[in-house]
Amino acid sequence: MATLLIIDDERDICDILEDVFQEQKGYAILKADNGQDGVELVKKHHPDVILLDVKLQAGMDGVEVLQEIKRHHPKAKIVMITGFVEEVMERKIKELGVDAYIEKPFTPPQIINAVKDVLQKKWSEEGGESKNRACD
């Protein structure tokens, strides 16, 4: 089973994403509504993929959270979620090691495919098979 961490300060988005991936089966879901809690969950659980909103309201923003996650878990696989992608932001998040990004509004198939692609990349890098084939 793949572990997926959702970090987004909009609870509706967290709940929607949780529902989408629970319907897919093969995912254990963790959620955080702020960056600090998200970083703590990463330290404790080492999720397979992290869905991270760029614009977090309280405390750290998404880029700061990304930097902190990479400091503690350099191989973390991250899909950034954003309402806009400026060229400068796109370049910056790629430089920081983001594996994929999704623009809002997104459809369930878009986010599912992004996560599946990142999981396949992760498992391919590890040289192993997927955990219970969450990508199938």
SS3 letters across 2-18: EEEEEECCCHHHHHHHH
CB 79 within 8 A of CB 114: yes
Assigned fold of 2-124: Rossmann fold (3.40.50)
Q: What is the pLDDT of residue 104?
A: 84
Q: What is the pLDDT of residue 88?
A: 63
CB 9 within 8 A of CB 31: no
The residues with which 32 forms a beta bridge, in sequence order, are: 7
3-class state of residue 119 by DSSP: helix
Tokens 């793949």 identify what position?
A: 2
Strands of 8-85, DSSP E: 27-32, 49-53, 77-82
Q: What is the pLDDT of residue 85?
A: 65
The greatest distance separating any two alpha carbons of the chain, rounded to the nearest whole angstrom, comes to 38
Burial 61-74 (b: 16+ CB within 10 A, else e): ebbebbebbbeebe
Tens-level pLDDT at each residue, the chain (136 residues): 999 999 999 999 999 999 999 999 999 999 999 999 999 999 999 999 999 998 888 788 888 999 999 999 999 999 999 876 666 667 777 788 899 988 888 999 999 999 999 999 999 988 865 554 455 5
Q: What is the pLDDT of residue 83?
A: 78
Q: What is the pLDDT of residue 130?
A: 52
Pairwise CA distance, residues 106 & 64, whole Å: 23
Burial class (CB in 10 A: 0-12, 13-18, 19+), 58: exposed
